[in-house]
Amino acid sequence: MTTTTVNGKPTALPDDPDALLIDVIRDGGLTGTKLVCGSGVCGACTVLLDGTPIVSCLLPAQAAAGKSLTTIEGIGSTGLHPVQKAFMAHDALQCGFCTPGFIIEATAFHDGWRATKGTATPSREEIAAALSGHLCRCGAYEGIYRAVAEACSGRFDGSDPIAPRLEARDKVTGLARYTVDIQHDGQLEGVILRAHVAHAKITGLDLAPARAIPGVAAVVPLLDDDNMIRFVGAPIAAVAAKDRHTALKAIAAITFKPEPLPAVIGLDAARRDDAPVVFEKKDRKRAGNVSEGAGGAPVSWKGNVRGPSAPFSQKAKQAKSWLAEARQQGNPLLVEETFRVSTQQHASLEPHAAVAKFDGDQLIVHISTQAIHESMEKIAKRYGLPHDKVRVIADHVGGGFGSKGSVGLETIAAIELARAAKAPVRVAFDREEELSVAGYRPAAELKLSLLPSTEGRLKALSLTAHADTGAAVNSLIAGLARLIYPAEAKELVDFDVLSNLPPGAPFRGPGGPPMSFALEQAVDEAALRMKVDPIHLRKQWDTDPNRQRLYDWAAGLDVWKNRKPAGSQTGRYRRGVGVATGYWLYLWQTGSSVELAIKGGRIVASCAVQDIGTGTRSVIANTVAKAFDLEPQDVEVRIGRSNLPPGPGSGGSRVTASVVPPTLLAIDKLKAEIKRTASRAPAPGSNAPWREMIAASPDIAVSAKRQEDGEPPPGVRPALHEAGIMGRVFGWVLRLMNHMVVGAGVPSSVQVMEVEVDTWLGHVRVLNAYTGLAIGKLAAPMLARSQAAGAVIQGIGYALYETRETDPSSGHILSGSMEDYRIPGIADMPKLEVHFDEAGFEHVPGGSVGIGEVATVPTSSAIANAIRDAIGVRLTEIPFRPDRLVAALKGRDAA
């Protein structure tokens, strides 16, 4: 037997030559080291081997024999490392799942730098090169740059800083426990058997051979009751065994007969008349849902095409005839173009995961979820359990971006396996599952026509979207164009095109970025043809008061004022500047409740809400602290458990606006209660009267539910009111069915991007990004900035790199690894200026609305407009990869 030293402790290494270092580390209880890609790409599993950072997911355990290993738990165990302090102070993290890997790498870089360069400050380029083996999906890169630079320059050699994010310390030390890290006694590992073919009927499913394998504790079927497979990766059964290896062996032993059916893959093939039909009429209810809201009115189907769905059209016939007329007359102002956006995977670094355990009749499920309270309700309903017999827990969630909003297969499999095995079971998706069957923002084809009137107003708009939704329905892209740029007539039509691909899912501002990609390029094109400044034209066409202020900010930027004439450059490198606008609905969830208590002289705030990296804990702590003249760290925030007062889901950017108002109500109640129960008044002249009273208070508790907003100022309306009666109906349905209210005022963003195009190598680089946001008052300013930055870099990924690739005939997802699904790295992060316009939401108690979605809506279109500005050619399909750039420059169609 060989040994290694882990954080100074001698540790035995397994004899198995196939054992990988990461498993030895994590199985030994050191769960700060994360497994994400398993292929050396993301760096989440990085540890120090004799002081050198290496990826533990590829290193044979035997390679550590006789060497010394340091994991995140070994960094700062006797006092935080300057890099850890800098990450805390600069909020260089969001969900925190990538953080241990970054910290390990950055400490090695820091220590080497200090040894040779003293306290000189490394450049952005030097930092980017050193950290190029790490990926962060939340996009915390801006903070990471600052943190590493300042740690190297010696700014964090002193005492521990105060972190703007409440749980930052746990995340930089590797102590934060995510669902994948949960390890109960006797816990089994669950694995899902998935289909290899895109379309088939399954008969003769035989689970017995799997049950017969030693070490297997349970096998459950997961096939839908029609026994149909409709995409590669559709679930068939699940196994729980003593370890993953045994579970995989058992999976391979399961037998069945697939009767193959003709399959159809993707948007273009599925629309053909002779395409095989994926969902027969009787099966349509089995399709998934790609939207956050409820399904609207019934919609017709033809083959695989579901639609038209056009509730938000306005005088559609009129729009059509004006556009036809303009086309016929060859009106030079008529902008007509077909745009294409591609499939974007959420690619959260923590995979979908659940750990289920029965404790008597109590079901305890840890889930990597965006909806603690709702998951509890749904699980209780599904299994006929009372609410108090189901406990959902999520202390930390390693990203979600919309994909973890419902009770998923990982949770169902874990619960059913745990029940059958009578033991705790963990089910965690592997990276390929995560990048193929865990949901995505559907690709779409967007046909757009836009007609300005002779007076320069917006006369008619037509947008028809066909979304590549796979085995799902309910895409809403075109309809969103109703809520911006009022016109005389709009024809807005959405279609879902179903095919034998996995179902799409909601993703950060679902149809917003695709809609913006088409509309904002068309507006840009109209400005070019009308020979007016694109910001000026938007100011004219767009009536929203929040965006009016943002346009003024954007028009004043030096980068905008100093831009070169469009398409005037001829050299190899060409620079361009583009602008685009985005909006999202201001949503809040009814019934959201917060309890404030004093326990042992300390304030405790509780709510069954989750923190997926957005900073929910800090938002609550800041709100409470401010009211009582305390520091946020003085407030204990309890979230992440379903037995707390019901909180909102993290979707639709609704958490802040749902949680802050009841917190404010509860604060008033608590103040009254403290005063009522106080045995004596604070010392006269005390400069911390509340602190004293809280310390002296008996244990008390109050709670409050989300109140209605105040009366908005004249002219400030819910976004849906732009859509007339149908908008109101939609709003009512949302409130009734989803407990979501669309409030008055429109969260808005205007972005300006400066790009450089290398015309020889087809490479686009975003040099500078300017993002202006009107989302009301900032409940946690530094964290809001982190969200804004993360949204921009995710938008850059959407614009430049990310796309799912499939095999056109078999339906296999080919981009199932993180080397083939390309998310942005630290060097791809531009310099960023964030401008917050805090007005516009005074009628909301606390004045804050959500930021997550609105901040990513216009990024891809601003980049598209900047590229057009640089090279004089408009690219209509994202991602703008080198192959597309060189083809466009040559006037050729890309493959």
Partner 1 sequence: MSVAVTTAKPTAKPAPEFRAGGTDFSERRRSGVSQGAPIDISAAGSKAITWDADGAALIGALATIATIATDARIAAAYPGIAASAQGLATPQVRQVATLGGNLAQRSRCWYFRRADIDCLKKSGSTCPARSGNHLYGVAFDLGPCVAPHPSTMAAALLAYDATVTTDRRSALTIAGLLGDGSVSHADHTLAAGEMIESIALPAPLAGERASYKRAISRTYAEWPLVELCARVVIADGRFQLVRLAAGGVAPVPLRLTATEVALSGKAANSASIAEAAKAATSGAKPLPMTAYKLDLLQGLVRDVLERLSD
Ligand X SMILES: Cc1cc2nc3c(=O)[nH]c(=O)nc-3n(C[C@H](O)[C@H](O)[C@H](O)COP(=O)(O)OP(=O)(O)OC[C@H]3O[C@@H](n4cnc5c(N)ncnc54)[C@H](O)[C@@H]3O)c2cc1C
492 binds ligand FES (CB under 6 A): no
Tell me which residues in 136-155 interact with ligand FES (CB under 6 A): 136-138, 140
Exposed/middle/buried for residue 495 (C-beta within 10 Å: 0-12, 13-18, 19+) = buried
Tell me which residues in 582-601 interact with ligand FES (CB under 6 A): none
Candidates 626, 672, 809, 833: give the one binding partner 1 (CB under 8 A).
Answer: 809
CA distance readout (Å), 20 to 55, 59, 187, 797: 10, 6, 21, 31
Q: Which residues, including other chains, have CB under 8 Å from residue 222's CB and lie 6 or more apart?
A: 192, 193, 235, 236, 237, 238, 409, 412, 413
Which of the ranges 134-142, 490-498, 642-650, 799-807 carries the binding residues for ligand FES, by CB under 6 A?
Answer: 134-142
160 binds partner 1 (CB under 8 A): no
Tell me which residues in 8-27 interact with partner 1 (CB under 8 A): 17-18, 20
For residue 3, list its beta bridge partners: 12
User: Which option in partner 1, ligand FES, ligand X, none does residue 95 bind, with CB closer than 5 to 8 A by kind?
Assistant: ligand FES
49 binds ligand X (CB under 6 A): no
Number of residues that bind partner 1 (CB under 8 A): 81
Minimum gap (Å) between residue 733 Cβ and ligand X? 47
Q: Which residues, including other chains, have CB under 8 Å from residue 626's CB and lie 6 or more apart?
A: none
Interatomic CA distance for residues 624 and 619, integer angstroms: 9
Interatomic CA distance for residues 266 and 470, integer angstroms: 7
Minimum gap (Å) between residue 39 Cβ and ligand FES? 6
41 binds ligand X (CB under 6 A): yes
* β 68-70/2-6 pair status: parallel
User: Which option in ligand FES, partner 1, ligand X, none does residue 356 bind, with CB closer than 5 to 8 A by kind?
Assistant: none
**Per-residue x/- mask for partner 1, residues 823 to 842, rule CB under 8 A?**
-xx-xx--------------
Interatomic CA distance for residues 216 and 190, integer angstroms: 10
Minimum gap (Å) between residue 581 Cβ and ligand X? 38
H/E stretch holding 503 reads none
Interatomic CA distance for residues 189 and 645, integer angstroms: 32
Minimum gap (Å) between residue 99 Cβ and ligand FES? 6
Candidates 34, 137, 171, 194: give the one binding partner 1 (CB under 8 A).
Answer: 194
94 binds ligand FES (CB under 6 A): yes
The answer, yes or no, to whether the previous bond of 879 is cis (omega within 30 of 0) is: yes
The answer, yes or no, to whether the previous bond of 308 is cis (omega within 30 of 0) is: yes
Tell me which residues in 40-59 interact with partner 1 (CB under 8 A): 40-41, 43, 46, 52-55, 57-59
Minimum gap (Å) between residue 150 Cβ and ligand FES? 19
Minimum gap (Å) between residue 521 Cβ and partner 1? 21
Which of the ranges 36-44, 495-503, 670-678, 856-864 carries the binding residues for ligand FES, by CB under 6 A?
Answer: 36-44
Minimum gap (Å) between residue 403 Cβ and ligand X? 24
Which segments within 265-352 are labelled E, that is strand?
Answer: 288-289, 301-302, 305-309, 335-341, 344-345
433 binds partner 1 (CB under 8 A): yes
252 binds partner 1 (CB under 8 A): yes
39 binds partner 1 (CB under 8 A): yes
Which of the ranges 41-49, 356-364, 593-601, 851-859 carries the binding residues for ligand FES, by CB under 6 A?
Answer: 41-49
503 binds partner 1 (CB under 8 A): no
347 binds ligand X (CB under 6 A): no
Minimum gap (Å) between residue 111 Cβ and ligand X? 24
Tell me the two tokens of residue 704. 């409050």
End-to-end Cα separation, the chain, in angstroms: 55
**Per-residue x/- mask for partner 1, residues 444 to 483, rule CB under 8 A?**
----------------------------------------
Candidates 806, 859, 865, 876: give the one binding partner 1 (CB under 8 A).
Answer: 806
| Residue number, 786 or 815, with CB nearest to ligand X | 815
Tell me the two tokens of residue 202. 């399954």
Tell me the two tokens of residue 357. 């355990």
Which of the ranges 35-43, 190-198, 553-561, 756-764 carries the binding residues for ligand X, by CB under 6 A?
Answer: 35-43
208 binds partner 1 (CB under 8 A): no
8-state DSSP, 337: E
Candidates 6, 20, 35, 148: give the one binding ligand FES (CB under 6 A).
Answer: 35
790 binds partner 1 (CB under 8 A): no
Cα angle vertex 749, ends 509, 503, to 5°?
10
Greatest CA span in the chain, whole angstroms? 85
Tell me which residues in 310-349 interact with ligand FES (CB under 6 A): 349
Candidates 184, 728, 765, 874: give the one binding partner 1 (CB under 8 A).
Answer: 765
| Residue number, 399 or 439, with CB nearest to ligand FES | 399
788 binds ligand FES (CB under 6 A): no
* CB atoms near residue 50 (< 10 Å): 12
Written as one letter, the residue type at 685 is G
* β 635-638/602-606 pair status: parallel
Minimum gap (Å) between residue 151 Cβ and partner 1? 18
Minimum gap (Å) between residue 834 Cβ and ligand FES? 18
CA distance readout (Å), 287 to 364, 431, 496: 29, 24, 11
Interatomic CA distance for residues 241 and 187, integer angstroms: 9
| Residue number, 826 or 863, with CB nearest to ligand FES | 826
| Cβ atoms of residues 709 and 717 within 8 Å | no
User: Which option in ligand FES, partner 1, ligand X, none does residue 136 bind, with CB closer than 5 to 8 A by kind?
Assistant: ligand FES
Interatomic CA distance for residues 146 and 164, integer angstroms: 15
689 binds ligand X (CB under 6 A): no
Interatomic CA distance for residues 832 and 788, integer angstroms: 10
Which of the ranges 23-31, 94-102, 298-306, 719-727 carries the binding residues for ligand FES, by CB under 6 A?
Answer: 94-102
Tell me the two tokens of residue 541. 């066409």
Residue 110, phi then psi, degrees to nearest 5: -60, -50
- Cα-Cα-Cα-Cα torsion 287, 288, 291, 295, nearest 10 degrees, comes to 40
Tell me which residues in 330-349 interact with partner 1 (CB under 8 A): none
783 binds ligand FES (CB under 6 A): no
Minimum gap (Å) between residue 206 Cβ and partner 1? 12
User: Which option in ligand X, partner 1, ligand FES, none does residue 138 bind, with CB closer than 5 to 8 A by kind?
Assistant: ligand FES
Q: Which of 406, 592, 410, 655 is nearest to 506 (CA)?
A: 406
Interatomic CA distance for residues 372 and 589, integer angstroms: 14
500 binds partner 1 (CB under 8 A): no
Interatomic CA distance for residues 345 and 502, integer angstroms: 12
Tell me which residues in 814-843 interact with ligand X (CB under 6 A): 819
Interatomic CA distance for residues 245 and 567, integer angstroms: 58
Distance from CA of residue 3 to its chain's centroid?
A: 41
Written as one letter, the residue type at 823 is I
* CB atoms near residue 475 (< 10 Å): 29
| Cβ atoms of residues 253 and 239 within 8 Å | no
Q: Which residues, including other chains, have CB under 8 Å from residue 421's CB and lie 6 or more apart?
A: 188, 217, 218, 240
Minimum gap (Å) between residue 342 Cβ and partner 1? 12
Minimum gap (Å) between residue 892 Cβ and partner 1? 8
Candidates 13, 36, 621, 800: give the one binding ligand FES (CB under 6 A).
Answer: 36
Which of the ranges 385-393, 404-412, 805-813, 850-858 carries the binding residues for partner 1, by CB under 8 A?
Answer: 805-813
User: Which residues contact ligand FES by CB under 6 A?
Assistant: 35-38, 40-45, 55, 57, 93-99, 136-138, 140, 349, 399, 613
User: Which residues contact ligand X by CB under 6 A?
Assistant: 39-41, 819
